[in-house]
Structures are given as structure tokens and as C-alpha cells.
Amino acid sequence: MTRSFDGTVVDEAWLDRLCATALWAPTAGNSAGVRFYTLGAPFVDEYLARATDLEWRERSRRYEGLRRAGAVVLVTARVGEYLRRYSEKDKTDSTLSEVSAWPLPYWHTDAAMATMALLLLLEESGWQAALWGNFRHGDALLEWLKVRDEELFATIFVGRGDENDPPSPSLTRPVPSRQARVTRLTPALDSPS
């Protein structure tokens, strides 16, 4: 993730096309409930003013770098699309027509897959990005954008890095290697009766 940008403006029409390509990501039951909303460079400051508070902006070591992003993409999920889809005749056996019935809300899974697809497409295109968790002020952002009946999943800042990104303290945490987190299973196979 890049959290300090150099102010290069992202071509909005190109970004819209890239977002549409990222929506080829899998979607449960072909519900197609994930949406991308793009904001060009002139709206980055206003986005940050609504997504954060003054206290955060004054103390954050990343605020100045983020505000130079060339565009912002908000990722949302339309939960109702999933509930409607899983109420249709071919899906009624799933018993997933109510939010409480989903042990894992696939609208989050689908939003994550589309987000990852977009991040990879941006990287492949030579751009940098930062995934921003909207832990606060999400409802205010959606109201500002006049987006209704959707959950804000995350925001992606897009631009060219300026190489002044302060490293995350998370990088110094001891974690298992990637290889150590992969386990090959060899279950005992019973003969079919």
C-alpha cells in the first residue's frame, strides 16, 4: 500500500473502465451487488474532510500524503441484492433470504474480491493504491454521495507514490512466513460403501 502520493491526477474515464473490469470478480449467485464510486482529484480533500475528523487530520502522519491522491474509489455492497437473489426460486433451498441466515455475509466476500481485483489491476497498470478501512463516518460519506441501501466496504486511494510514505509499524511485528501459513492436507480416504 502507498499512503503518500505525488499529486498526479488519475484519468477518471480510464479509472471507471478499470473499475468495470474489476467487477468481473466472482459474485455469489450472480447477485452483482458490489458497486464502485469514483471521485476525481478535486474531491479528495472533501472526501477526507468527511471520512475523518479534525483531530485525526491534525495528528496523522499520513494525512498530507493521502490528500495528494489522484482519485478515490469507494467500494459498497447492496445487501438487498443478495437477499433478493437468494429468495429466487433456484436459491430458496439455501434459506439465505434474511441477513441473519448468512453465517458469512457473501456481500463482504464479493466486495473484497472486487477490491483485490482492482488493486491488482492498478498495480499492473503502474499505479499505486492504498486500501482505507472506513471505520468511522461511513454513513456520513454515503449520505454525502446520496448512496442509499448500501454498505460502505472500503475506500481505495489511487495515484503515484512520492516515496515519502512512512513505513507502517505493523511491518515490524513478528508473523509466520507466508510458506508457514500453507499446509498440505492428506486426509485418510475411506472406501465408498
What domains can be seen in the chain, in order of their start residue?
12-166 (3.40.109.10)
Q: Which amino acid is at 90?
A: D
pLDDT of residue 48: 96
- What average pLDDT score do residues 115-119 get? 98
pLDDT of residue 166: 81
pLDDT in tens, 133-144: 988 899 999 999
pLDDT of residue 193: 63
Report the share of the chain in percent with pLDDT over 90: 77
3-state SS, the chain, equals CCCCECCCCCCHHHHHHHHHHHCCCCCHHHCCCEEEEEEEHHHHHHHHHHHCCHHHHHHCCCHHHHCCCCEEEEEEECHHHHHHHCCCHHHHHHCCCCHHHCCCCHHHHHHHHHHHHHHHHHHHCCCEEEEECCCCCHHHHHHHCCCCCCEEEEEEEEECECCCCCCCHHHHCCCCCCHHHCCCCCCCCCCCC
Q: What is the mean pLDDT of the chain?
A: 93
Out of 16-20, 70-74, 84-88, pick the least confident.
Answer: 84-88
Report the share of the chain in percent with pLDDT over 70: 98
pLDDT of residue 102: 82
